[in-house]
Structure 1
Amino acid sequence: MKILQSQLYYKGSLNLAFVCLGCLSFFSPFAKAQEQIKKESTSVNNFNNPLIQLTQKQVCPSAKLLTKRIFETVKYYIYICKGDETNPLGYYVQFSKNSGWKITLPVSNQVDEAYFAKNNGVIYTVTPYELVITKFTKRSSVVLREKVNHAIAADGQSLARGCPTGHTSFVEAATKNYIVYICGKQTPDTYVAITKNGNNIITLPLQLNYNSSQKTEDSEYIAVKGKTHYLLNRKILKVSRDGRNLVKEKVLYWH
């Protein structure tokens, strides 16, 4: 009797072992499938990102020339491709989002994160803040000026600089040559100015006597460094020293 019970116990244990192995063989492909779905989902999410989509396409003049910068405006994508022996500064590639129009030009000059390209009297300039197309005949005239909404390096890092980490941007203003941010945590307390063509930056505390209104359109912000005074309002950016204007530029947009 004991022998029979032992045999039944052994068979039951063996059957249970096979069932467990069956479970493992069932759930192992299931787990792999779930992992694959997760990967594919992540891949789809990345693919739906227009900037990621662009990096997956052949846009540079040669497959050997990788993209090192991507800029996006409302209407365009702009690539900066790595250079070669013919054009060591690289290539400027501009796509129209709407029409598919494309132009590829050698980069003629680079100043920090500002890139310049020329074509038949037209100069294309792109920075992390702005795309400007200027036509030169007897005098220069701006054909197009668009704010850059995204500017990234090949590793996906943002190229634009703005308010310090942890600060809010209360005002973003642009003139011909500068981007200015009024920053702060709970209230505006910092003035940040960046040169468009060189990405040089100056950060200063705002003076306590700046005129802040509930309507930012009516606000005026003042910062001081030594004898140099910085003033920004909706209409103008002015930098002066000893009563003499060093910079006086019209504000082109205010946000």
Structure 2
Amino acid sequence: MKHQLKSIILSSVTLSLTILPSNVLANNLISQPPQLLAQNQEKNYCKPEESLFLSAETKNFWLNICGGDLPRYYVGVSKKNGKRIRLVLDDYDKQGNYFSAYNGNVNYLIIFNTPKGSFLTVTEGKKELFREPLIRW
């Protein structure tokens, strides 16, 4: 009986594998090292009850736009030391082309699809403090 059960299970697995398209089969059989899978996951620094509208990354920061039904907060986290800032959004584009938040006179702007690319820019008044290209979003 055990031998028949093993045979049925193996036949079922073989049948399932042969029905899958070859690209699906290859994608499911090729495994990546665990650290690569972890690196590809988006970072979520929103509060548990919030929605994550955007997860982006620059060389030095992880960025989130969080909220409820609508985007409400900018969250920036330093990759170097883990320090974070959470600010109420001042403005955003409904199509998601930019998100802007202020901390006093300092503006944090995530902007997409400019002629020069997509960036995080931090300005104080009219002075640009720094600009980093988005490397993932």
* Aligned counterpart, 2:94: 212
Letter in 2 for 1:76: P
- Partners of 2:83 and 2:33 in 1: CA distance: 25
Task: Give the structure-1-normalised TM-score.
Answer: 0.37
Matched position secondary structure for 1:253:
coil
- Partners of 1:211 and 1:148 in 2: CA distance: 27
> Structure 2 unaligned runs (5+)?
1-30, 113-117
For the pair shown, the structure with the greater C-alpha radius of gyration is: 1
Q: Does 1:188 align with 2:71?
A: yes
State the Cα RMSD in Å. Answer: 2.4
Q: Does 1:222 align with 2:104?
A: no
Map residues 26-175 of structure 1 onto 2, 5 A cutoff. Answer: 75-78=32-35, 147-149=39-41, 162-175=45-58
* Aligned counterpart, 1:202: 85
Letter in 1 for 2:41: N
* Aligned counterpart, 1:176: 59
Q: Percent identity?
A: 25
User: Cα 1:233–1:75, aligned 2, differ >3 Å: closer, same or farther?
Assistant: farther
1:211 Cα offset (Å): 1.8
Post-superposition Cα deviations, 1:179-226, rounded to whole Å, max 9, x if no partner, equal 10001010001000001121111000001x32221xx3xx21000011
Letter in 2 for 1:187: L
1:76 Cα offset (Å): 3.0
Letter in 2 for 1:193: G
- Number of matched pairs: 102
- Partners of 1:161 and 1:197 in 2: CA distance: 17
* Aligned counterpart, 1:116: none
Matched position secondary structure for 1:246:
strand
- Partners of 2:77 and 2:50 in 1: CA distance: 16
Matched position secondary structure for 1:170:
strand
Matched position secondary structure for 2:34:
strand
1:163 Cα offset (Å): 0.6
1:161 Cα offset (Å): 5.6
Give the conservation status (yes or no) of the 8 Å contact 2:44–2:52.
no
- Partners of 1:248 and 1:242 in 2: CA distance: 15
1:149 Cα offset (Å): 2.8
- Partners of 2:111 and 2:32 in 1: CA distance: 28
Task: Give the structure-2-normalised TM-score.
Answer: 0.65
- Partners of 1:168 and 1:200 in 2: CA distance: 21
- Partners of 2:81 and 2:40 in 1: CA distance: 15
